[in-house]
Every structure is written in structure tokens, then in C-alpha cells.
Chain A
Amino acid sequence: EPEVTQTPSHQVTQMGQEVILRCVPISNHLYFYWYRQILGQKVEFLVSFYNNEISEKSEIFDDQFSVERPDGSNFTLKIRSTKLEDSAMYFCASSEAGSGRDNEQFFGPGTRLTVL
């Protein structure tokens, strides 16, 4: 069964550093998403991406964040100048459709980001 993959599984960085989290969505999916989940809290939407541009973003997704699909397979989340409060699990997801039927999102295993 096809699956979403994410690398690395765990990233430790110093405050102020930049990190890039990588995701490989399912190959025939057209919609891509990033979420984060702070330990013990709910899953929070960050951004959705379709047709090489951001479709929607949350209030969390400010200028510190950016997303890119640099090639036909990878989808990346860049966090500039990391802060302690960026420590969280970051999930990538992809779906065939963006809304309505068949918009089931497939989630990756996540990247645990620890900012020291």
C-alpha cells in the first residue's frame, strides 16, 4: 500500500537555526498539507498546497515558514530562525482530492522537531 514518508524522523536543532523537513507524498496525489502537533495537544493545520502554490494557510504559518515542492516527488517545510515553541511533531499529508468525496488525507509518520 502506498504511503507518505517523512525524513528525518527526529530533528534536533539550536534556537535560531533553520530546519527543513522533508516529505514524499503518495505519487498520484495532488494536494499536500503540513500539520504540527505539540506534545499532548491537538493536531494543528499549517498549510495546504496545490498546483505549486499555497491554497490555504493558518495563522500559525507566518513568514517564519515556507513550503516548496522542489521536484516531482518531494514536499518540504522550511522553518527559519527556530524558536523553542516550534518544538513539536510535524506531519505531512497528501490527498487525491481537496474537498468533497475522496479527500481522505494520508498522513506520514511525522518528524519530531526539538529546538534547544
Chain B
Amino acid sequence: LAKTTQPISMDSYEGQEVNITCSHNNIATNDYITWYQQFPSQGPRFIIQGYKTKVTNEVASLFIPADRKSSTLSLPRVSLSDTAVYYCLVLEGGFKTIFGAGTRLFVKA
């Protein structure tokens, strides 16, 4: 399975843009990159998914360079409610989803 590496934690202030980068050096050709958000005592929630270049939805943007060995989740103008753990996942065809430790984002007022 492709292994992902992301920062353990990040701090930000309300209104700032937050970029969380994930490394996935061994990503397979058919793999998509998926990001989830998890609040305490809740299940993970899908944020965004992409294969290459840039994907944007109402919540976030995902930037993927041409070599696809990394990806950056961009959260525009974060608020206190964006304080959560963010997981980067890469699935290698099978149905075994491995969550890493994730990045704990703490947004301050």
C-alpha cells in the first residue's frame, strides 16, 4: 500500500488560508488521492478527491503536481470550526483503507 506522510500538527488563525501537504512517493498509476476530515467523536468525513492537477469544490482545493508524489489540501479562510484532524489517503486498488496519523489543525481566534 502506498504510504502517506503529512505533518503531525498545524496552527492557524481565523481567516487565513491553510495548506496541508501530503507525500505519497509510491503512489500507483491508478490511485486517486482522497482527503478526509475528522472532528472529535465523529466519523471521518470526505473532503475532496483528485487524480492530477487541481480540483476545487465548495470546501477546499486539492493541488497535485505532475509527478503525483505529493498533494496539497488548501482550505481557504479557515474558521474555528475547521479545527479537526485531516487525513490524506491513497488507495492501491484494493479495499483496504489505511489512515495515517493525520494532521491536527488548530485554528485560533
Contacts and interface: CB of A to CB of B under 8 A. Distances in A.
B96 A45 contact: yes
Contacts of A82: none
A102 to B, nearest CB: 8
Interface stretch (A13-21, A62-70, A71-79, A104-112): A104-112
Nearest to A58: B96
A104 B87 CA distance: 13
Given A93-B43, A107-B43, A43 B30 contact: no
Contact of A42 (B41, B91, B99): B99
A99 B102 contact: no
A43 B42 CA distance: 11
Given A106-B46, A109-B43, A110-B41, A44 B96 contact: no
A48 interface: yes
Nearest to A55: B95
A109 B95 contact: no
A103 B99 contact: no
Contacts of B51: 101
Interface string A85-114: 000010101000011110111111110100
9 contacts: A42-B99, A56-B95, A58-B96, A91-B43, A101-B49, A104-B34, A106-B46, A109-B42, A110-B42
Given A43-B87, A100-B93, A101-B49, 8 more contacts: A42-B102, A43-B99, A45-B99, A56-B95, A101-B51, A105-B46, A110-B42, A110-B43
